[in-house]
Structure 1
Amino acid sequence: MINNYIKIAFRTLLKSKVFTAINVFGLALGLATCLLIVFYVFDELSYDKYNVNADRIYRMNNDIKFGGNEGSYATTPAVAAQELKSSFPEVEEVVRLKYGGKMWIRKKNQNIPEIQIVYADPTVFNVFTLPMIEGQPATALKGTHSIVITEKAAQKYFNTINALGKVLTFNDTAFYKVTGVIKNVPQQSHFNYDFFLPMIDFERSRETAWFNNSFHTYVLFKPGTDVKKFEAKMPAFLKDKAEPQLQRILEMTFAKLEQSGSYFRLSLTPLTQIHFNSTIKESLGEPGNITIIYIFSAIALFILLIACVNFMNLSTAQSSSRAREVGVRKVLGSPRKYLVIQFLTESVLVTFAGAMIAVFAAWIFLPVFNQMSGKELTVTPQVVAGLLPLLLVFIIVVGFIAGSYPALFLSGFQPIEVLKGKLAAGFKGGKLRSSLVVFQFAISIFLITATIVIYSQLKYIQNKDIGYSREQVMIVHQTGSLGREKAKMLKHEVEQLAGVKSATLTAFLPTASSDNTTSLFKDATLDARQALQTSVWAVDKDYLPTLGIQLKAGRNFSEDMKTDSNAIIINEAAAAVLGYKDPVGKTLYSIQDGEKKLTQSLHIIGLIKNFNFKSLKQSVSPMILEAADEWYSLSVRVNSADITTTRAQIASKWSAFSPNVQFDYSYMDDDFNRLYFAEQRMGKISVAFTSLAIVVACLGLFGLAAYAAEQRTKEIGIRKVLVASLSTIVGMLTKDFLLLVLIAIVIASPLAWLFMNKWLQGFAYKTAISWWMLLAAGFGATLIAFATISFQSIKAALANPVKSLRSE
């Protein structure tokens, strides 16, 4: 019986090759898109779950409101970890991580820059699941100048994973002995380091200050610990441990501090939620975006639903040719359930064919998707083993859902009416089909609008006045490897080049992730109510002219002014928090030593206009520039006339100073664009998904147009005999469909405005959603729909009326 159903299904599908091909292609597109998005979503949701004790690991955060600044930070004091372990029996283990920054590791006669470097406590292997291939986890990071590396790093520097006992040279001055080799840290980790240095080698790891937060602290709780109750103990813990220092520095208790409107608090974030918690600053690694997960999941579901809707529409479009078959079968005594099974068999076969093509297409286009999404997704045997049963269930479920309406619809024909030629009377569900078309195009219009808004925001970001000039600025990296004096000499020689306008030595750039925050006070008593929480950047006298930052009042730093060692320049945001209309000449105070309460006076010599030194998702916050020696990167403003020649000359100068270190540079405008890589990536994926949604929706519209033309064949023939024009017939066939598209525009436009307006709220500086964006999306969808419908309409209008009337 089953063989018979399959045999008949094959024969039936092969009779209508075009419609079958469209059905299969539509389902394949929908399923392939769904598979790619499922890979992406599962990859995002799997972050940090490779850790055996992931459900018991939490990161300690520091929540601060002080000096006009409020936020949550992923960093805590150096002393917090050990105090937590010794104070609470429910804490099984703690570990601190401290990002090591960029360093240069020698390989033969070349120094190679590495950034995946971290200082870690020896307990890192007790908390995180980092399987060791060679070495002893308990002792690997206990000694000074020991190092644990990943197998990838071992292969890179020693051409083997058997690297135990070998030595790595850092910055030409420090030698580290390999005491352990671990497996590569999984990509699905919120941190991904290749070199683990012992925390004991980091000078500040033994600090006892409670208000100097620069370490990432992780807590492994004992099984059964109520983390909420533990977190409730944090205020008392902080009061006991940190309040004596607070009283020495600010002469305040935590209670009085909170009464003044400020606070310092500790909180916890579960390890598996770190990747999506983008509101906490200074987290290790690039945070994900749970909103994108929701959006992509919804898109996958919508495209799949559109594909299923197409199948229904295309199946009903063939109903006339199947009606007599159904009538004859019923007259011969075939029960309706057998007809339903027959049609569902056809549906499952089409779905199976579409699924097989979809799997192959997803595999083929996975590298392209990886490039767009920034992922490294791969199809492994484990993925295939897990996918096969899901795919089987998927085929059956989708096959039954997509084929249910056609099966019930076609099997419900009354045989007498069909055999008498009264087919039209047996058709029902016109409203349902119209609703499905509206649904399809509403999604398409929504996606078109979203794509237009995303690209408008990216264009706005690129063209906005950000307060500094990033064009024609070349950044020479790795100057820290030269040392202070050589770096200054390099700068001096570079400045003499004809194609160079100016140059500045500093590690603090608006397009870099480096930052340094501290608290300053308006008076020497360190009154917390007159505090300023601010970023402090060390720069030289050439910083402002090189980056084109505008001085609003006062003067720039000068080498001729010896007092500039205690001079600072502040931005407008800092002046606003301090309440200064004219800050030049005023004095601020910083804490030099919290234990002895020593302060340092800083004289304001200049006021600069605000410039965006962070992402445009954040408003400009207080900024202080201080004159100090920094030599970790060299920023050069070059003449645009001949950048290539100037770059070659700078590279030649670099080779003279550091022949063993490769010339490493970037352009500031490229670095700026990389800050918004996630938005650019989202824009590219939105274009791809929008295009697929439109293609799949148009297939459904094509099916309905074919259905409508088929039902009105006789009418069209009579109208042509009565000398109706081509435009009249095309207009008659298209107007109903275009009305459905207009209804979709009315539904989708306000929804798209609401959702995209909410997305834009994530930017402090954003474009407005203009009426033309909604109009362009609606017009584009209407034009695409008209082109799709016109094909079938013109085809029907050009048909010979004699043939259509002869079949009456």
Structure 2
Amino acid sequence: MFRNYLKIALRNLKKYKIDSFISLSGLAIGLCCCIILIMYVRFEWSYDNFHTNNDSIYRLTEQTVNSRNNEIRHNTVHPYPQSIALEEEFPEIKTLINISGGSAQFLKDGKYILEPIKLADPEFLSEFTFPLIYGDSKTALSNVDNIVITESAANKYFGKTNAVGELMTIRLRDEPKDFMVAGIAKDVPANSSIQFNFLLPFENQISSAPAKEQKTLRESWYIGFLETWITLKEDATKKDLEAKFPAFLERHYGNSWVERNQIKYALQPLSQVYFNENYRSGVTQSSNKTYSLILGSIALVILLIAGINFMSLTLSRYTSRYHEIGIRKTVGAIRHQIKFQIIGEVFITCSFAIILGIVLAELLAPFSDVLFQKELDLSLISDPVLWISVLGLLIILTLITSLYPAVKISGKNATSLFSDDRSAQKIPMLIKGLIVVQFGLAITLMIGTYVMQGQINFILNKDLGFNPENVVAVEINSELQNALKIGQLYSTEAERIPGVLSTSVTAGEYRDFSEYGIVDIGMAQMMSSTTLTQLGDGIPSEAVDAQYLQTMDIELLTGVNFSKQANTFPSDEIIVNQAFVDAMGWDNPIGQILEDKPENQGWVGPFDGKKIIGVIENYHFKSLYDPLQPMVLQHIETGDQNPGTILVRLSSDRMSETVSNLKSLWNSIAEQEAFNLAFMDDMVQRQYNEEIRWNRIIRISSMASILLACFGLFGLSALVAQRRIKEIGIRKVFGASIKNILVLISKDFVLLVICGFAISAPVAWYLSNQWLTGFSYKIDLDALPFLYGGLTVLLIALTTVSWQSVKAALQNPVENLRNE
């Protein structure tokens, strides 16, 4: 019997080529998209699940409230002496691990290469599940001169995997130092929020600093530079330990400090770290959980649309097979046999489509990295959850699709099947409703895509207060004793290169991975004697030279710039931005003297006694997620900061040649130093890589859902054309044109799209507003995205319907009116 069903199914697939192709390909493509999207969502939700005790490892977090604007701040960076006090005062703590991130220069083939590093206490490898291929995880980080590297790093630097015992020359600060490879770790899984290729003992974070700085780092409770991770003893609970934090804070920071900043400490499980963007740091990766939920919903919507399409096309095809089934009944087929024939055919056809969808997903999975911009392990064949889900989908889709025609058609007698009064048939309201839901969802996605694209265009083209176009940042190792000399020499010589318009030496480190924006800058505790509470607790500052404003194209509003003359830099002069002036409420800021605020508990502000000589236009040194903040500039030769970057503004002509000359100049001045250059406009854009990536994913998913919805519309238009075939024939006899027939059939579908739009518009408006609230600077949500989204879907839908309408209009009216 199954063989007979298979033969009939194959025969009908061949007989109804176009309908079969659309039906099979629609379900296959929908399933393929769904599988890939769901696998990616599963990957996102699997972050840190590979750790054997991911729910019992906690990160210490801090929440404070800015006294200036009541802004809630989240922080994971803590001072070193606090870690010691926590371990000494709380017996509930089983293990406390300090972790920090940064970068170091590794010597390879006579050149130093800048690499990101992690530094951690020896217990790190015992508590976290990062297995070593070679070496002992318990002792690998116990020696301050040891280093643990991954397989990839071992192959890169030594050309082999087992590099235990080999020496690596690393420059953490100014002086290079040899470290012995004590362990080779497996490459860190892509779904780990903590990523590393090079792991050093945490003690190096402090011991590599100059003696005076070491003392400050070990003793100061106000300099945070590490993350604190904690595991608890078996009889201790997270809730009990958190209840003791308020008293701990009061003992060590004082009641006034805690109350003024509304400081709260909490323990965050490792399993919750990845989906918590509030706590950004240089140690862990994070993502927005909302995007994963949206993508998972889109995947299910696409599958739903594909399933509805398959159902409508199958129903459409069975209404044209009344005569065939009537003949089978005439020659003796009973109702039971007709039912199983229809169910069997649908099962086989559905199986073909699902198998094709899985094959497509398996073939496209390796290329999904381009879409998601992440290296994913999307191994489908070995995934039992996938096969169970697919089997369930096959059964459900077969039953839902086949039961209606099986019961309806098998219940008719042969006479009614031959008479086939299809003009009396009505399109089921359920299918119409599902089509409306389909297009409602598709329009919602399309509107969201236009809103996201509009916001991304807005933030990429917004006036930032400086001009990042044609500016490159050349990194200097700020730990070098002669860093300032190298920076100034390079800056002077670079200006002689054709195509270089201006240069500037700054202490800021302009990096793509900065948690502060495009530049890591200092945070200064300072206040005016006239207003003790207006500016809050931390003011960003940057040490620059006199050419900084020109190179960055920042406008000086009032006062004067730093002097360009050598040895004429008064140590008490600073420049502030307009936001600083506005926060202080000054009418005439020039000449104002800053004083350290008395409630700093001994903290001496670096700008105590400084005089304001100029005010600059506000510029966004952070991303547009954050509001503009007060900012202080000091001259780099009067501060205690070494240069971290040389900024170079280039002419747009022969830019590649100019960059090549800049590299040659660097090699002649700092031969052993790696040449690291980045374009500032790329840095600005990469701040929003997450939004750009998700916009691309959602845009492609939206188009897929619209096209699949149009497959369903194709099936519904076929049903309508068949239902009204005699009416169309009569209208043609009386002179109706193709245009008239097109309008006759299309108007119903225009109404369905309008209904879908009416449902989707308020939903899209709400979701778009919720997403935009994450930006401090955002577009005004007007009618254009809604108009574009609705018109886009309507145009595609009309194009789809036109195919069936024209096809019906071109048929011979005599054939349409003939009753066989």
* Alignment partners' CA distance in 1, 2:142 and 2:308: 63
Q: Give the CA deviation at 1:265.
A: 2.5
Query: Does structure 1 conserve the Cα–Cα contact (< 8 Å) formed by 2:542 and 2:634?
Result: yes
Does residue 263 of structure 2 align to residue 264 of structure 1? yes
Q: Give the CA deviation at 1:224.
A: 5.7
Q: Which residue in the other structure is 2:446 paired with? A: 448
Cα shift readout 1:262-319 (whole Å, capped 9, x = no counterpart): 3222122211111111122435344211111111111111111111111111112123
* Alignment partners' CA distance in 2, 1:505 and 1:406: 77
Q: Which residue in the other structure is 1:541 paired with? A: 546
Cα shift readout 1:741-794 (whole Å, capped 9, x = no counterpart): 121122222221221122111111111222222112212222111111111111
* Alignment partners' CA distance in 1, 2:749 and 2:601: 78
Q: Which residue in the other structure is 1:151 paired with? A: 151
SS of aligned partner of 1:588: coil
- Aligned amino acid, residue 521 of structure 1: M
Mapping 1:585-734, distance limit 5 Å: 585-590=591-596, 600-628=608-636, 629-661=641-673, 663-734=675-746
* Alignment partners' CA distance in 1, 2:4 and 2:449: 48
C-alpha distance 619-401 of structure 1, shift in aligned 2 (>3 A): farther
Cα shift readout 1:720-742 (whole Å, capped 9, x = no counterpart): 22222221122112111111112
C-alpha distance 342-664 of structure 1, shift in aligned 2 (>3 A): same
* Alignment partners' CA distance in 2, 1:33 and 1:137: 42
Query: Does structure 1 conserve the Cα–Cα contact (< 8 Å) formed by 2:38 and 2:296?
Result: yes
Query: Does structure 2 conserve the Cα–Cα contact (< 8 Å) formed by 1:508 and 1:539?
Result: no
Query: Does structure 2 conserve the Cα–Cα contact (< 8 Å) formed by 1:539 and 1:630?
Result: no
Q: Which residue in the other structure is 1:105 paired with? A: 106
Mean CA deviation greater in 103-112 or 155-164:
103-112
Cα shift readout 1:132-156 (whole Å, capped 9, x = no counterpart): 2222223222223221111211111
C-alpha distance 598-464 of structure 1, shift in aligned 2 (>3 A): closer
Mapping 1:121-270, distance limit 5 Å: 121-171=121-171, 173-203=176-206, 204=214, 207-223=218-234, 225-240=236-251, 242-243=252-253, 253-254=254-255, 256-257=256-257, 261-270=260-269
Mapping 1:424-463, distance limit 5 Å: 424-425=423-424, 427=425, 430-463=428-461
Q: Which residue in the other structure is 1:75 paired with? A: 77
Q: Which residue in the other structure is 1:248 paired with? A: none
* Alignment partners' CA distance in 2, 1:9 and 1:686: 36
Mean CA deviation greater in 739-748 or 514-523:
514-523
Mean CA deviation greater in 416-425 or 299-308:
416-425
C-alpha distance 385-258 of structure 1, shift in aligned 2 (>3 A): closer
SS of aligned partner of 2:776: coil
Q: Which residue in the other structure is 1:249 paired with? A: none
Query: Does structure 2 conserve the Cα–Cα contact (< 8 Å) formed by 1:326 and 1:413?
Result: no
Mean CA deviation greater in 792-801 or 768-777:
768-777
- Aligned amino acid, residue 362 of structure 1: A
C-alpha distance 156-199 of structure 1, shift in aligned 2 (>3 A): same
Query: Does structure 1 conserve the Cα–Cα contact (< 8 Å) formed by 2:121 and 2:201?
Result: yes
Mapping 1:563-574, distance limit 5 Å: 564-574=570-580
C-alpha distance 181-295 of structure 1, shift in aligned 2 (>3 A): same
Does residue 470 of structure 2 align to residue 472 of structure 1? yes
Mean CA deviation greater in 459-468 or 502-511:
502-511
Cα shift readout 1:182-237 (whole Å, capped 9, x = no counterpart): 11221111121111112212225952332322211111123464312321221012
Query: Does structure 2 conserve the Cα–Cα contact (< 8 Å) formed by 1:26 and 1:310?
Result: yes
C-alpha distance 142-652 of structure 1, shift in aligned 2 (>3 A): same
Aligned residues: 792
The one of 544, 558, 575 equivalent to 1:553 is 558
Cα shift readout 1:355-374 (whole Å, capped 9, x = no counterpart): 22212222332344311211
Q: Give the CA deviation at 1:345.
A: 2.6
Mean CA deviation greater in 196-205 or 267-276:
196-205
- Aligned amino acid, residue 351 of structure 1: C
- Aligned amino acid, residue 346 of structure 1: E
Query: Does structure 2 conserve the Cα–Cα contact (< 8 Å) formed by 1:122 and 1:198?
Result: yes
* Alignment partners' CA distance in 2, 1:619 and 1:443: 34
Query: Does structure 2 conserve the Cα–Cα contact (< 8 Å) formed by 1:521 and 1:530?
Result: yes
Query: Does structure 2 conserve the Cα–Cα contact (< 8 Å) formed by 1:39 and 1:377?
Result: no
Query: Does structure 1 conserve the Cα–Cα contact (< 8 Å) formed by 2:118 and 2:283?
Result: no
- Aligned amino acid, residue 437 of structure 2: F
C-alpha distance 710-540 of structure 1, shift in aligned 2 (>3 A): same
SS of aligned partner of 2:678: strand
* Alignment partners' CA distance in 2, 1:585 and 1:409: 90
Q: Which residue in the other structure is 1:41 paired with? A: 41
* Alignment partners' CA distance in 2, 1:304 and 1:661: 54
Q: Which residue in the other structure is 2:211 paired with? A: none
Cα shift readout 1:63-113 (whole Å, capped 9, x = no counterpart): 222452640112112123232222223221111111122x22111223222
C-alpha distance 402-420 of structure 1, shift in aligned 2 (>3 A): closer
Q: Give the CA deviation at 1:405.
A: 4.2
- Aligned amino acid, residue 122 of structure 1: P
Query: Does structure 1 conserve the Cα–Cα contact (< 8 Å) formed by 2:569 and 2:635?
Result: no
Mapping 1:773-792, distance limit 5 Å: 773-792=785-804
* Alignment partners' CA distance in 2, 1:271 and 1:503: 44
* Alignment partners' CA distance in 1, 2:219 and 2:66: 21
C-alpha distance 681-114 of structure 1, shift in aligned 2 (>3 A): same
Query: Does structure 2 conserve the Cα–Cα contact (< 8 Å) formed by 1:148 and 1:182?
Result: yes
* Alignment partners' CA distance in 1, 2:788 and 2:730: 39
Does residue 59 of structure 2 align to residue 54 of structure 1? no
Q: Which residue in the other structure is 2:286 paired with? A: 287
* Alignment partners' CA distance in 1, 2:578 and 2:153: 46
C-alpha distance 47-720 of structure 1, shift in aligned 2 (>3 A): same
Q: Which residue in the other structure is 1:374 paired with? A: 373
**Over aligned residue pairs, what C-alpha RMSD do you find?**
2.8
How high is the TM-score relative to the length of structure 2? 0.90
Q: Give the CA deviation at 1:5.
A: 4.2
* Alignment partners' CA distance in 2, 1:214 and 1:338: 76
Q: Give the CA deviation at 1:583.
A: 2.8
Q: Give the CA deviation at 1:487.
A: 2.6
* Alignment partners' CA distance in 2, 1:404 and 1:331: 22
* Alignment partners' CA distance in 2, 1:225 and 1:394: 45
SS of aligned partner of 2:442: helix
* Alignment partners' CA distance in 1, 2:666 and 2:800: 60
C-alpha distance 92-365 of structure 1, shift in aligned 2 (>3 A): same
The share of aligned pairs that are identical, in percent, is: 33
The one of 82, 95, 98 equivalent to 2:97 is 95
Q: Give the CA deviation at 1:416.
A: 5.1
Cα shift readout 1:568-593 (whole Å, capped 9, x = no counterpart): 32222233333334333223345899
SS of aligned partner of 2:543: strand
SS of aligned partner of 1:217: strand
Q: Which residue in the other structure is 1:250 paired with? A: none
Query: Does structure 2 conserve the Cα–Cα contact (< 8 Å) formed by 1:67 and 1:533?
Result: no
C-alpha distance 119-748 of structure 1, shift in aligned 2 (>3 A): same
* Alignment partners' CA distance in 1, 2:291 and 2:380: 28
Q: Give the CA deviation at 1:335.
A: 6.5
- Aligned amino acid, residue 73 of structure 1: N
C-alpha distance 145-539 of structure 1, shift in aligned 2 (>3 A): farther
Query: Does structure 2 conserve the Cα–Cα contact (< 8 Å) formed by 1:135 and 1:180?
Result: yes
* Alignment partners' CA distance in 2, 1:139 and 1:745: 63
SS of aligned partner of 1:361: helix
Query: Does structure 2 conserve the Cα–Cα contact (< 8 Å) formed by 1:93 and 1:126?
Result: no
- Aligned amino acid, residue 143 of structure 1: N
* Alignment partners' CA distance in 2, 1:350 and 1:672: 51
* Alignment partners' CA distance in 2, 1:441 and 1:79: 59
Query: Does structure 2 conserve the Cα–Cα contact (< 8 Å) formed by 1:476 and 1:635?
Result: yes
Query: Does structure 2 conserve the Cα–Cα contact (< 8 Å) formed by 1:148 and 1:179?
Result: yes
C-alpha distance 682-347 of structure 1, shift in aligned 2 (>3 A): same
